[in-house]
Chain A
Amino acid sequence: MTIEAIQEEIIDEFSMFDDWMQRYEYMIELGKSLPLIEEQYKTDDNIIKGCQSKVWVHAELDNDKLVFTADSDAIITKGIIAILIRAFSNQKPQAIIDANTDFIDEIGLKEHLSPTRANGLVSMVKQLKLYAIAYQTQLN
């Protein structure tokens, strides 16, 4: 599936909810399905700056595709990173670099989250894209 198709799928899923509580509960559920980072990669180097809770992300190439794993000590944050990883993992680095992230707004995440956490979300997207840029350079 392309990143765009996955994003559409996520938007569809979130459109079923009509209140914030259901959205959050779903996000927490998604957090539980997050492909967890291996303990050895839970280092300070892999912590994303700009989040009040801790978020670790690890990236590695599987053939020509980038695979992300992550974790967070806060469950809502874990849900957010799970959504991002679902859209971006197992994709070619160039596709990640080119990906539009408007779906975050469309599922009401940015609007519904506190400003500091929204910044954390922006930092997460930035970090995933930075990994993609780094691996794309390697592939070239």
Chain B
Amino acid sequence: MKILVAVKRVIDYNVQVRVKEDGTGVVTDNVKMSTNPPDDNAIEEAVKIKEAGKAAEIVAVTVGEEKAQETVRKALAVGADRGIHIKVDGIVEPLAVSKILQKIADKEKPDLIFMGKQAIDDDCNQTGQMLAALLNWPQATFASKIEVKDKMLEVTREVDEGLETIEVNVPAIVTCDLRLNEPRYASLPNIMKAKKKPIEQINSSDLGIDTKPRIEQIKVEEPPKRKAGIKVANVAELVEKLKNEAKVI
């Protein structure tokens, strides 16, 4: 089997995001960037499947500006075999990303496409499902467990009510939850080796996909701030406050 894994470069999850004063977005200059966390789970799962002898090749793909390549390079360092970087500047909405990935899937013909269930920057949670629709493949979203069987996967999904188990025939799309696995760190020798692995660069315009945003971002602002609270000295005071001041118990 061949697995395509899509990864996105986002502001690191530990960074306290700040809104720009002019309301046009959030501050990204001199801010630490990383791979979107559940995309790391997607790569890890693909590598585990390959290590178990059930996949022959892993291709890591990203869509974004020049520096987005770093995420592909990181995927190569933890076990992907080669990379593809589709170069686009500016905001690319999930619909455009899924159209680009559809073109890549048409060319690469993977059996499985993995990605994180949601990007932690725009919090859209769309790309995997959209790509599945465009390819007319089944989708196993929010996966916390994947079992590879003969030409099919059994996937446990995290849903509001608890867990749901489905079977999907390949080719299929899986979007990964953070609980799917524990992503490994790249070792120094593997980081060195990854530098020699090939990354193919493609301009999005060469794919004939219109990436012009369909959603106009009018303004970005700080959320309303909570007013500062107080520290209580002990449990008795806490219960008294909840009962008589906040009146919630």
Q: Do these two chains interact?
A: no
